Amino acid sequence: MSETIKELSVHYDPINETNTFTSGDIVEGRIVLEVTKEIKVDRLFVKITGDAKVHWTENSAEDDSSHSDHERYFKLKQYLIQDSSKKDGQVVKPGSHVFPFRFQLPQKALPPTFQGCHGYVKYIIEVKLKRSWKMTSTKSKELIIVLRNEGLNDHLLQPQSGTKCKKLKLFASGKASITATTDKTGYMQGETIRVFADIDNSSSRDVKLKYSLSQKQIFIAGSSTNRGSKLIVKETKHLIPSRDKTKLIMDLKLPTDMAVSIENCRIIKVQYELKIYLDVPFASDPEIKFPVVILPAVQQCAPWLGPPGGFQPCPPLQPNLVTYPPADAGVLPPPPPATGLYPPLYNPTYSGPGVIAPNAMSPGFHLTPSAPPFDPNQSTQEFSPNVPH
């Protein structure tokens, strides 16, 4: 940041306790610009982008090959300063200035934020300040996007069942078999997977019942695919003695912060596999594998959104630009009264010189001429699904 531009920052308002957003949500916030002397600005704009990217390199004896791909979900952009009538740019006076912004995320199902071993899904809020013959000043913050919880459909409520049997030949005799059934196929973060197991150990060896849950990451770039895996949990449940039969119930508590399944991204897939098996000495293990779908936990909607499908858009904010007097100018005026339409755009508690109060003015202070009149035609929301980068 240059000496002239003391601060350029992005701030957005959380709409829930987890500080997450989902499709259709409104993102409101402000850009704070503080300058130590008068500057001329060509353009000041804020944008939100949603992208998935994958990249990896394969090493071989003959050559190294790189694979990459990109998928864009949307790009929303709003100009805060843009005045083509002024050849030398818009004048911004010394002091702290605030520009409110407001976007609505697309209503379509967006892949959730994800960071994998060979790729990611990210949503970024970025502000850019452009001046003639100067380096562009940029600041950004990441938005955490989660899937909207639409509940479990009939398919995900269906139980899964399987049976495996193993004949023992080396250093043992007889056979060991297991039948396992899950209570359903889909689970929310923090839920418990319940497994019913029926074991018949008709062998001459003691066996152990074990289970594991693993995450599968799949990255796709054209015709090339790369895979990664991550073990979520692995446990030994019980020892089943030789010539014994037993029935067991296993409960697997899912972490509340685990990544959800991703199937709505073209280049990144996240899947889960539950494996129940018998650990048989000196023999291959009879094992049963079940696909498991992990969904987001129930989310609380923002106060102005209501239930899914009931969203009513609010009028756009007016990007007024107001500077409070310096600290030695006396007591600051009280904050403006709440309208109930929007959440607060600033902390009304005074915390020192330069506090910004959007849409409020103190006696003797006027709207700075560096604030262009608000033109709704300059506030654009560009929606371009699946456009190559």
Residue, of 1 and 323, whose pLDDT is higher: 1
The model's confidence at residue 350, banded by pLDDT at 50, 70 and 90, is very low
Six token digits for residue 133: 């013959």
Q: Pick the closest to residue 55 from 214, 230, 263, 222 (CA basis).
A: 222
Which CATH architecture does the domain made up of 160-295 adopt?
Sandwich (2.60)
Q: Pick the closest to residue 272 from 224, 218, 225 (CA basis).
A: 218
The model's confidence at residue 38, banded by pLDDT at 50, 70 and 90, is very high
How is residue 110 annotated by DSSP? Answer: P
CATH 3.30.930.10 fits 5-148+299-382, yes or no: no
**DSSP codes of every residue in 259-294:** PPPB-S-SSEEEEEEEEEEEE-TTSPPPEEEEEEEE
How many whole angstroms separate alpha carbon 133 and alpha carbon 130? 9
Residue, of 342 and 187, whose pLDDT is higher: 187
Stretch 28-49: mean pLDDT: 95
pLDDT of residue 339: 38
Q: What is the pLDDT of residues 294-306, one digit of tens each?
A: 999 875 444 444 4
pLDDT at 375 over 80: no
The set of residues, in sequence order, having a beta carbon less than 8 Å from that of 311 and lying 6+ positions away, is: 24, 305
Q: What is the pLDDT of residues 103-148, one digit of tens each?
A: 999 999 999 999 999 999 999 999 999 998 889 999 999 999 999 8
pLDDT of residue 280: 85
Cβ contact 235:211 at 8 Å: yes
Give the strand pairing for 186-188 and 287-295. Answer: parallel
User: Measuring CA to CA, how many Å separate 195 from each of 206, 275, 289?
Assistant: 21, 11, 12
The model's confidence at residue 90, banded by pLDDT at 50, 70 and 90, is confident
Boundaries of CATH 2.60.40.640 in the chain? 5-148+299-382, 160-295
Cβ contact 21:36 at 8 Å: no
Percent pLDDT > 90 in the chain is: 59
Q: What is the pLDDT of residues 308-330, one digit of tens each?
A: 333 333 334 434 333 333 333 33
pLDDT at 6 over 90: yes
pLDDT of residue 59: 83
Amino acid, res. 128: K
pLDDT of residue 114: 97
pLDDT of residue 267: 97
The set of residues, in sequence order, having a beta carbon less than 8 Å from that of 160 and lying 6+ positions away, is: 181, 182, 184, 185, 290, 291
The model's confidence at residue 341, banded by pLDDT at 50, 70 and 90, is very low
pLDDT of residue 309: 37
3-state secondary structure of 343: coil
Percent pLDDT > 70 in the chain is: 74
The model's confidence at residue 246, banded by pLDDT at 50, 70 and 90, is very high
Q: Give the residue carrying structure tokens 């009304």.
A: 348
Q: Pick the closest to residue 280 from 174, 148, 193 (CA basis).
A: 174
Q: Where are the beta strands (DSSP E) in the chain?
A: 5-12, 26-35, 39-41, 43-59, 64-82, 90-92, 95-104, 114-115, 119-130, 137-143, 160-167, 175-182, 186-188, 192-201, 207-221, 224-240, 244-253, 268-279, 287-295, 379-382
Q: What is the pLDDT of residues 201-224, one digit of tens each?
A: 998 889 999 999 999 999 999 999
pLDDT at 356 over 70: no
